[in-house]
Amino acid sequence: MPDNFRLSEIGSGPSSGWRQDRGEAALSDVHSSVAVPKGRWRRFAAFIGPGYMVAVGYMDPGNWATSLAGGSRFGYTLLFVALLSNIMAIVLQSLCARLAIGSGRDLAQACRDAFPRWVSIPLWAAAEVAIIATDIAEVIGTAIGLNLLFGVPLELGVLLTSLDVFLILWLQHKGFRWLEAFVIALLGVITFSFCVQILLAHPDWGGVLRGFFPTTEVLRNPEMLYLALGILGATVMPHNLYLHSAIVQTRAYGDTVAEKRAALTYSTLDSTIALMFALLINAAILILAAASFHGAGHTELAEIDDAHKLLGPLLGSAIAPTLFAVALLCCGLNSTVTATLAGQAVMEGFLQIRLKPWIRRLVTRAIAIVPAAAVTLLYGPRATGELLILTQVVLSLQLTFAVVPLVLFTCDRRKMGPLVAPRWLGITAWAIAAIIMALNAKLVLDFLG
């Protein structure tokens, strides 16, 4: 393994927006495109954004399926898994920021530069599988949202999701901060929707508190472990590790060690606050399912549209199903933006191939539409919930291939210099990697047994 990354050109200074005069935009074109002013609070404000774009991946439609199924079947028990997953995510996303700021490389670039091709190409393939699994969840979630709100048939909704590329292209023309503002605005709508629904559900707050404490039942019950791994895969998502390490570099934080340390502090705060916000949303989905469905005996709920139908009668309010559908559609649209950016980072970083954003989006969306459309046409809407949960388990199984290189790089002083991860952080990160690998190994053994 080389002692140092091969540092290639990562941009030629600040730019005015996403698209450059020399052709179609790459993520490297927007490196240092967001100015960082002087002053502590103004400086911190400049770093707000990437964390929330990453947080979108922690509340996408795949999370809904796993959280709804977990809450309806096991009540508040799996809240601890959501909390543990979020803690893991905070640590791993902080390492992404550290890698980007300390080395000037995103995770995909670092893998390409540090490993031989027989290692980096399979890692690229694993990352693409993770992005396709994410896209399947977005396709299904957005199609269900369109169906619930506007009555669009699910089969047609699956096909219509390919048109979201025009939304992304428009936002890309406006500039990177516009992308961030769009994401944050939709997060606000999602938050409002769930706050109202939680108030209407009247959960058992004592049960909620107990749900955040660990239980060994997760390991003893294969069905609970399957859902727990689905929550883990839906929370700590592989593509977010590639995405965060790329978009953190949109800030013009400077070249000195002191400036980089300050940038790392602000970036870590941004992602930590955003992920705590994502935990509230994920916990809200699970709490809503536990309070509304588990307590009423609907313990086999796995379909999002079923949850939508039951919310009104169970909560005694006509507005609850509408808010549920609005939040779902917002989640699908938000995930579209971040998955596209992650796909760009992965392809450009691993293969040094720069596709036009709309081509990249249509290719990955077309691949995702095939299984989603096939399941919908062959088995009907009833099977979409199971497909959503399966995609999240696939993401969990892909995590190892992103987490291990990330921890390996950020703990290597030769690559990170003064921003190498401190010993305590490295030990914590390796422990997280070991937990993920052990849980995935148990899932595979249970499946084979």
* Range scoring the smallest mean pLDDT among 50-59, 95-104, 183-192: 50-59
* Range scoring the smallest mean pLDDT among 11-15, 291-295, 312-316, 438-442: 11-15
pLDDT (tens digit per residue) in 298-346: 666 656 666 766 676 767 677 888 888 888 888 888 877 787 778 888 8
Q: What is the CATH topology of the domain spanning 40-448?
A: Amino acid/polyamine transporter I (1.20.1740)
* DSSP per-residue string spanning 275-328: HHHHHHHHHHHHHHHIIIIITTT-TT---HHHHHHHHHHHHT-SHHHHHHHHHH
Residue 15 has pLDDT above 70, yes or no: no
* Mean pLDDT calculated for residue range 352-370: 68
Residue 196 has pLDDT above 80, yes or no: yes
Distance, CA of 446 to CA of 257 (rounded, Å): 48
136 closest CA partner among 429, 446, 393: 393
Asked whether 307 and 301 are in contact (CB, 8 A), the reply is yes
Distance, CA of 112 to CA of 343 (rounded, Å): 15
Asked whether 107 and 349 are in contact (CB, 8 A), the reply is yes
pLDDT (tens digit per residue) in 248-258: 988 888 889 99
* Mean pLDDT calculated for residue range 48-74: 81
Top-confidence residue, 374 or 152 = 152
Give, for 133, the enclosing helix (H) or strand (E). Answer: helix 117-150
Distance, CA of 301 to CA of 102 (rounded, Å): 46
pLDDT (tens digit per residue) in 260-301: 999 999 999 999 999 998 888 888 888 988 888 877 766 666
